Amino acid sequence: MSLSETNSGGVAITAINGRLDGATSAEYEIRILDLLQDGRKAMVLDLAGVDYLSSAGIRVLILVFKKAAALKLPLAIARPQASVAEVLSIAGLDDILVAQPSIEAAIQAVGG
């Protein structure tokens, strides 16, 4: 697992890489929540590098979105692979965590 962050016009772009599953979710949860609470004004979670998502990973995404809402911090997800998008759809999340097709679209979605 790995997490890397770049910045585009004040929007933090956080790239998650590897599996977002029951073994990695606890650490991703801590690290992403830390980033959210560290003064960023908007964030994009780039899922292009996530090749596998299970319910444990979905739980992290929901927690992160709830925390962002509590902080009034605009947050979007971008570029999920087809298999990851399918799991989000099975979980009934494709309507409420709308995935942006590109980083540019996601930056626009969070007002960057």
Partner 1 sequence: MANSPAKATLSLSLAYATSEITRLHDAVETFLRSFVPPEKPLMHFLLALEEIAANAIHYGNAAESEAVISVEVHYSEDAISCEVVDSGAPFNPFSEATVPDLTSSLEERQVGGLGIHIAKKVLDDYSYRNEAGRNHTTLVKRLGLGS
Binding site for partner 1 (CB under 8 A): 19, 21-24, 26, 52, 54-56, 58-59, 62, 65-66, 69, 83, 87, 90-92, 96-97
Q: DSSP character for 98?
A: P
Considering the complex, what minimum distance in angstroms separates the CB of residue 85 from partner 1? Answer: 12
CA 35 to centroid of chain Cα atoms: 12
Considering the complex, what minimum distance in angstroms separates the CB of residue 95 from partner 1? Answer: 9
Strand-pairing partners, residue 46, are: 15, 78
Q: Whole-angstrom Cα distance, residue 60 to residue 64? A: 6
C-beta of 8 vs 85, nearer to partner 1: 85
